[in-house]
Amino acid sequence: MADKKRTPSGDKKLNHATSMPNLHKKLVRPVSANRNPDTSRKEKELPSLPKLRVDGRHLSAVPRPQTFRPTGSGQSTPLKTSPVRHQPKLSISESVDSYNLSVIDMYHDAASIVSPTTDVFQSLMKLGIHGYEDDFTDNYSSSSVSVADSPRPRVHADDFHFTDHSPSRPHFTDQSLTNLPYLFPSPTNLLFHQSQSNHILHSSPGRLLGSHSTLSLLSSRDSANIIRNSIELSKTSLSASRDRYGFKKKSQFVSEAAYNAWWSDYSKYLVRRKRKWELLMKQSGLTYEHDAPVRFPARSEKVKRYIRKGIPAEWRGHAWFHYARGHEKLAQNAGVYDAIVASTIDLHNKDTEIIERDLNRTFPDNLHFRSDETQQQRETETPLVQALRRVLVAFSQHLPTIGYCQSLNFLAGMLLVFMDEERAFWMLVIITQKYLPGVHDLNLEGVNVDQGVLMLCIKEYLPEMWARIGLGLDGEKLTDGNLLVRLPPVTLCTASWFMSGFIGVLPFETVLRVWDCIFFEESKTLFRISVALFDMVSPEVTQIRDQMEIFQAIQNFPKKIINPNELFDHCFKKRNGIGHYLSQEEVNKCRDFVSKQRRSHAENAKMYVLDGEGERLYDFEHRKGLNSVAWNKNLTLKMKRLRKSD
Amino acid sequence: MSSRKKTLLKVIILGDSGVGKTSLMQQFVNKKFSHQYKATIGADFLTKELPIDDKTVTMQIWDTAGQERFQSLGVAFYRGADCCILVYDVNNAKSFESLLAWKDEFLIQANVSLPETFPFIVIGNKIDIDENKRVVSYKKAAQVCQQLGNVPYFETSAKDGINVEEAFDVVSRNALQQEEANDEFNDDYNDAINIHLDGEAGNCTC
């Protein structure tokens, strides 16, 4: 709709300077000249918006921005006027535990919305947990910027009062740490969405209000929010068979015991990282009330390091949305999603047919997508499955060049675990346009291009691995001339890494860490992680001769990486970590190059077979400080040579 | 026949999305069924050692994504296949109608030397579901398979493990025959450009 005419949101940069006077000037990227003045006005408004009062009574009478409202600051229609709010669809109650039910109950009573949880929140804030030290042993920073160089906003000692190690602080044993409910139900999550729903209902009464299906749609949307309240550490006590997202801990490659052994350590790491993030937010002048921060620190080396070490799980939805420029996208398209959903309720076509078949095959091992307790429960659709249907159908209508492509179900399903469906929808749009361009298109050319880029990366950076996998089906060596057209068989496996953003490839917690980076550091992350995986599996692969066994080893290896830090340590290791030298610029250029090569091959309807053994079509020249002019010149020369030899 | 260190039979499973390709493969290889299979993205394979008469062979079974556009991914691995299993869902008419398209697609991509003798097998899956929901009768299916060139036809339930073993037994025997015959055409299928299709596949114009 209107969205298509606008500048892709990904090209714009929000300016957070207004809210972070402490931050070093250098790190605030310049505001582009043609920035939408409307957006900039709204941005300026943000810091001055009154905060949601947490005394449990006062939620309204706040002037609201015109198009979008961040969590915790928006106007809220008095609760009693909402038909939705008082009819929470409780079908999910069959699959969630009593803890969540009590959360739902809470929302029946406006007066109790905030105070009880706030009390818990504040008292838990006072808990002191050790583990601050690792900030200085960080090895995920870019090699070019030392820790000392990174800007540390000056923070007054008073700023730390909330983490003060007071003697009255309860003492936590290791066991209690594992079970510590340090993530809290965030009423603002629910409030945000509901107030937004109300906003939609009020702003376009003719179209949406009174439509029965829309009402039931909104109510089930609200129930979908519940999952985000269950992402707390206590939900993964060592005795449970599922993780805090509702997935079974046990997989074909990881036993429950192995999971628990890892989790008892990793959960402590998460507690430490959460404390770090809270400090960072404080230092950046940002709030995280009710554990639902809307704005996040502007880009800096420090923030990058923090992101590589993982965003707190309960902040992820907001953080991803923020760094992927979701707010802009949503602001430009207010109401668009609901309109698409309303117009596609009865849609039946080739895409919806496949969507229907995939709904139950998205996260069948997740409680919130399919309960497997009884036959009857299996056949009852969960609210999240219903939301998934709406998002995928709406998407297939909104971007007809993609329509529905299998694997989008995993991306959308993952997003729905962390955000409401309207945001999940726009994130899916952003992901398929910005981070995975063309990857899900009708001819999947984008994924073939990315596999070409990945293979060139392996060839360049892991020559020993390339010697093993850079072979055709019959074991013949692929040449520079044909490798981009006749991609090695292993790309059948790596294609799914890209298409589904590593979902189902890496264990869930590990996928989350990769996604944290993608939205902050863009698509180079996918290539860095892929190359790191190849590097890690390399010792195993060099022991194998058979091509198919190599394929299988590469396919299965990622599924065993239960500890995300293992992968990240490898990717960003100080010496020769791939994370330090494969830049976005290089990836973009390489994508361009591979795409052109494949196009020209297709146009000529024949394969280039170059006889010159040493002929290289693409050189990685990061060591020479490659600039685009040099690269283009380089490429032009090569193309000339190619044409001659043809 | 010829002396080989190890007989590897390569089998490709094709068919529309959701007809039960992964379930069939899992049922045959691991003797299990799960309600929790995810949609297959890209391609996946399993291997199984099995005895055929007096020799032991390794069967390598490739499971594929059912959505049409996945054909744009490297389908190079079709080449060198010894048998192709075409699967449809007896409760889904459309998946039945797609059989011919899948067969043609395979022949083009696999570049088999003699399309008319290449062993296919058709499986009608999900016969455990309520008889009233069934839309493709055995008679109809058997008739079409005859037109496809006397392709063996099996009706299975991957869920209950009905007829799966029997179907794969025929697959393995036909694949072995093809593998042995393939040796004689080895020179041919190394040549990616040479596609023997035009006018040769006369018996699949039903």
Task: Please indicate whether, in this complex, the C-beta atoms of B67 and A405 are within 8 angstroms of each other.
Answer: yes
Q: Which CATH superfamily is domain A445-645 in?
A: Ypt/Rab-GAP domain of gyp1p, domain 3 (1.10.472.80)
Q: Which residue in chain A has the smallest CA separation from B8?
A: A548
3-state secondary structure A94-128: HCCCHHHHHHHHHCCCHHHCCHHHHHHHHHHHCCC
The reported pLDDT for the residue numbered A639 is: 55
Average pLDDT over residues A295-306: 95
* H-only helix segments in A360-407: 375-379, 383-398
Question: Can you give the pLDDT at residue B5?
Answer: 55
Token pair listed for A222: 């609200």
- Per-residue burial over B112-123, b = 16 or more CB atoms within 10 Å of its CB, e = otherwise: bbebeebbbbbb
How many angstroms away from the CA of A598 is the closest CA of chain B? Answer: 13
pLDDT in tens, B12-30: 999 999 999 999 999 999 9
Q: Which of B17, B47, B192 lies at the smallest CB-CB distance from A354?
A: B17
In this predicted structure, the answer to whether residue A168 has a pLDDT above a threshold of 80 is no
Cα–Cα distance measured from residue A128 to residue A381, given in angstroms and rounded to the nearest whole number: 42
Please answer yes or no on whether B17 and A358 come within 8 Å at the CB atom. Answer: yes
User: Is B35 close to A378, i.e. CB distance below 8 A?
Assistant: yes
CA distance A227 to A189: 11
CB B42 within 8 A of CB A417: no
The more confident residue out of A153 and A388 is A388
pLDDT winner (highest mean) among A13-22, A40-49, A447-456, A577-586 = A447-456
From the list A448, A38, A388, A402, the residue with the least C-alpha distance to A227 is A388
Query: Buried b / exposed e across A102-117, counting CB within 10 Å, b at 16+?
Result: ebbebbeebeebbeeb
Please tell me the distance in Å from A82's CA to the nearest CA on chain B: 38
Residues 6+ apart with CB under 8 A from A524: A582, A583, A584, A586, A587
Kindly report, residue by residue over B44-71, the tens digit of the pLDDT: 889 999 998 888 999 999 999 999 899 8
Q: Is the pLDDT of residue B184 over 90?
A: no
Contact assignment for A358 to B18 by CB distance below 8 Å = yes
For Cα atoms A203, A204, A208, give the angle at the middle one, nearest 5 degrees: 130
Number of Cβ pairs closer than 8 Å across A and B? 98
Cα→Cα distances A429→A251, A326, A465, A527, B39, Å: 31, 10, 35, 21, 21
**Where are the alpha helices (H) located in A348-420, listed in sequence order?**
350-359, 375-379, 383-398, 408-418
Sheet containing strand B120-125, edge to edge, reads B43-52, B55-64, B8-15, B83-89, B120-125, B153-155
Q: CB distance B18–A444 less than 8 Å?
A: no
Radius of gyration of chain B (CA): 16
pLDDT of residue A34 exceeding 80: no
Residues of A in contact with B77 (CB under 8 A): 473, 489, 492
Contact state of A406 with B42 under an 8 Å Cβ cutoff: no
Chain B positions in Cβ-Cβ contact with residue A485 (cut-off 8 Å): none
The region of weakest confidence among A196-210, A500-514, B188-202 is A196-210
C-alpha angle A151/A153/A155, rounded to 5°? 150
User: What percentage of residues in chain A have a pLDDT greater than 70?
Assistant: 55
CB contact under 8 Å between A354 and B42, yes or no, is no
The pLDDT of residue B36 is above 70: yes
Q: Say whether A587 sits in a helix, a strand or coil.
A: helix
Report the range out of A248-262, A472-486, A503-517 with the highest average pLDDT. A503-517
Q: Tell me whether residues A444 and B69 touch, CB distance under 8 A.
A: yes
Q: Do B74 and A487 touch (CB under 8 A)?
A: yes
Can you give the three-state secondary structure of A134-199, one letter per residue?
Answer: HHHHCCCCCCCCCCCCCCCCCCCHHHHHHHCCCCCCCCCCHHHHHCCCCCCCCHHHHHHHHHHHHH
Winning range, highest mean pLDDT, from A86-90, A192-196, A292-296: A292-296
Domain boundaries, chain A: 2-128+181-331, 342-435, 445-645
Residue A456: CB partners within 8 Å, gap ≥ 6? A484, A590, A594, A618, A620
Average model confidence (pLDDT) for chain B?
86
Most confident of A90-94, A108-112, A345-349: A345-349
The arithmetic mean of pLDDT across residues A404-418, rounded, is: 96
The answer for A286, left when phi > 0, alpha when psi is -120 to 50, beta otherwise, is: beta
Could you tell me the pLDDT band of residue A578, with boundaries at 50, 70 and 90?
confident
* Nearest residue in chain B measured CA to CA from A404: B67
User: Smallest CA–CA separation between A510 and chain B, in Å?
Assistant: 19
In this predicted structure, what is the pLDDT of residue A236? 54
Domains and their CATH numbers in chain B: 8-197 (3.40.50.300)
Question: With 50 as the cut, is the pLDDT of residue A443 above it?
Answer: yes
Shortest distance between the Cα of A257 and any Cα of chain B, in A, equals 21
- Does the beta-carbon distance from B38 to A361 stay under 8 Å? yes
Please state the ipTM of this predicted complex: 0.86
pLDDT at B77 over 70: yes
Top pLDDT among B152 and A1 is at B152
Instruction: Classify domain A342-435 by CATH number.
Output: 1.10.8.270
pLDDT tens across A124-148, in order?
Answer: 333 333 333 343 344 454 433 333 3
Please report residues of A whose CB lies closer than 8 A to that of B45: 548, 551-552
Q: Give the closest-approach CA distance of B76 to chain A in angstroms.
A: 7
